[in-house]
Amino acid sequence: MPWVVSISAESQLTGLFYDFNEKVAGSGFVIRTDGHIVTSQHLVQDSTEIKVYLSDGKTYDASVVGQDELSDLAVIKIDAEGLPTATFGNSDDLRVGDWVLSVGNALALKGSPTVTLGIVSGLDRTITIESGTYYGLIQTDAAINKGNSGGPLINLQGEVVGINTAIIKESQGIGFAEPGIVGIPGLRI
């Protein structure tokens, strides 16, 4: 998937005795040929530096152009043109048992994105985790690991039907994806 990207974000945290930098890894996908990329808001929130790594090996600095904490979605922008873009499916058409793929920068492993296969295990799920409560999620058993946040959940036609958002640390084989993109007029997955 040439439109799936890896993302690293660095932020400065204030400690009790000293400040320190925290670096996190995640995923995203290109939604416009001019460099607009969707990712998870928790990945880029309060970042001092964001790097985007394309599948062709190019690296770009990125900036946040929009974010929504409630849905944990953000749009970042890189200075590039002519990029391949994702194709969107309709998450409203998903049924429990449909096959899906999770694509992303799992565990920040070097090389191309990791792809895992699973099914839609549940729809319209609500979960509460340390970063907040999320509603209307797609539950899947396609492996979603640290670093997959912001990456696409894809149907077997290669269309994006969700954005990988969360896992529950105590569970195995349960991940969650956001079914829509909030804050982008006219765009609903």
Distance in angstroms (rounded) separating the CA atoms of residues 95 and 91: 9
SS (H, E, C) 154-185: EECCCCEEEEEEEECCCCCCCEEEECCCCCCC
Name the CA radius of gyration of the chain, rounded.
16
Considering the candidates 8, 40, 42, 102, report the single residue annotated as catalytic.
42
DSSP 3-state assignment of 107? helix
Which is nearest to 129 in space by CA: 68, 170, 161?
A: 170
State how far the Cα of 71 lies from the Cα of 100, in Å rounded to an integer. 21
61 annotated active-site: no
Q: Which residues contact 60 (CB under 8 A, 6 or more apart)?
A: 35, 51, 52, 54, 78, 79, 80
Active site residue 91: no
Any catalytic annotation for residue 42? Answer: yes
Catalytic residue among 72, 102, 121, 141: 72
93 backbone dihedrals φ, ψ, rounded to 5°: -85, -5
Query: Using an 8 Å Cβ cutoff, are 146 and 162 in contact?
Result: no
Question: Catalytic pick from 47, 71, 121, 149?
Answer: 149
The Cα 187–Cα 147 span in angstroms is 25
**Which residues are designated catalytic?**
42, 72, 149
